Structure 1
Amino acid sequence: MFTSNMCVIVIIASTIIGMVTSQGQAVAFSAGVSRDQTLLHAETIVYDKIFTNIGAAYNSSSGVFTCQTPGYYVFQFHTLARQDKSAWLELYKNTDYISTIFGHSSNDYGSAGNTAILLLATGDQVYVKAVDSSFGVNTDLYGQPDEVYTIFSGYLVHAVCKMIALFVACVTLGLVAGQGEVAFSAGLTHDQNILHAENVVFDKVFTNIGNGYDATTGIFTCPMAGTYTFQFHTLAHQDKSSWLNLYKNKVYIASIYGHTVNDFAGGSNSVVLPLASGDTVEIRAVDGSYGTDTNLYGQPDEIYTTFSGYRISS
């Protein structure tokens, strides 16, 4: 069994012979849906309007991103449902479910978005699928050539070596940070009713490079000074509310709120913050004494509430 010291030794040795880092390999794509779509089955969304496709890894015929440069990537997906309709979409890595977005508003349009940071090996595929209508909801996406709301984007944050199996195992476990890189992404896999100003503990960790995120407390502790970006998303239970705040060192920074009468409601936000080593960032529910309890919806196969962050510069 590999220990953290063994991983570090291998990574250091590989770096010396130029095997680990792959600098200068830009990979980024962004594409949108430019027409209405009604999806009845678990179909992959084909984003037909390409804004960017650096590295040519996104296929606009299939809607699938295929990794050609191993590393960790940020993926973001957003949608808008047609009036009085629903949009229910899931993000997949190969055949593995990652996270979900849902948008619906009675007599109106409903929007949603989410973010995930994932480690990919060469040949891994990432795509967005509609949830099958057998679960009770058709997906009706709104789109026009001059009104593009449903978008799928991704970009390489840090490339890693061809020794991906060993490197990914070490990095995913948070044992090495890989050339000073820091990134984490986690989601909530269960319902949570929060009455007081408590931290949200995102229990399913997708990525934890640098080991800064603690899945037992929900707190990210900065392991390396720099400028960081954070994204947080949520979905409230039907006819309930979700009211969350982001804090840096217990000091309030930003909020998200979601509530829709007789329906589910989402919220999203992002922020860029300078952090010193040891600074903390966390998501906390607003205390119920302000008039609203926070009721988060989550299941192992329905992850809407997520918290992600990564270091973008020193």
Structure 2
Amino acid sequence: MAQHYDTIILGAGPGGMTAATYASRANMSVLMIDRGIYGGQMNNTAEVENYPGFESILGPELAEKMYASSTKFGAEYAFGSVLHVEAQNDGTWHVVTDMDDYTANTVIVATGAANVKLAVPGEDQYTGRGVSYCAVCDGAFFRGQHVIVVGGGDSAVEEATYLAGLADKVTIVHRRDKLRAQKILQDRAFANEKIDFIWNTEVEEILGDDKKVTGVRVRNNQTDEVSEIAAAGVFIYVGLTPVSEPVQALGITDANGWIHTNDRMETAVPGIFAIGDVRDKELRQITTAVGDAAIAGQNAFSYNENFKMAASEVTE
């Protein structure tokens, strides 16, 4: 028989681990499932400088500290890719992974979101060493330097404007001849003397030495002219996709795969909660994931207590 838990948390990033801390402290039996090492994208972050309590901390080190807290009160951790989650006749949930099956009274979805990559040489090699997908996270490391932003949508233009407050120069490289961002965002960027634009151009390779990014090789898609641009950092904003495939059959995602919740982190399906980057939200940060998780952990406890009480009344 599948092992049963009061709550199963899909994902062990900062949100998943915080939810595990809150739920297990409330004496719930808790299982975190993740297809990789705990910590999620924190493991790809060289330094975290905007998490309360730390002037600066390595991403993997923060992940270790969070994991220690999350398992202190008995929460368990298991490797596995969640294939799907399905309802059972008794009101519990069946979680199927590529390793084992489990059941739970509640499920907290903390699977996060994945950055759409350029899929060019050098991108993976220099991620965390000059290649970034988060200006708020990493922009401070490039004070007074030249950085490149790849993309032309809202995120790219907003983050370029943010980076302009830190960097000496920001160059937006866009594959089209005009931006797709909202006009107000475009106007701000065009008015910023630190921001310039390279149109109809695509990044073909991210260049670097044995330590860090040194620039990019680009190609003009109108003339096929190839050139190189020197830069200390490359911020990529060509899209973000939620990791929500395992729960899409539950009907809790929108057309793009994002999960909608109320302010209690409850989805449209009772007993299923969602937190962190997989939610349809504006700011995706470690701190916001942790905040979501505290709320979800507490409300999963309340739901679990009511569930057990209702079940006991049925059997009496």
**TM-score between both structures, scaled by the size of structure 2:** 0.26
Comparing both structures, which one devotes a greater share of its residues to helix?
A: 2
Comparing both structures, which one devotes a greater share of its residues to strand?
A: 1
**TM-score between both structures, scaled by the size of structure 1:** 0.26
Larger Rg: 2
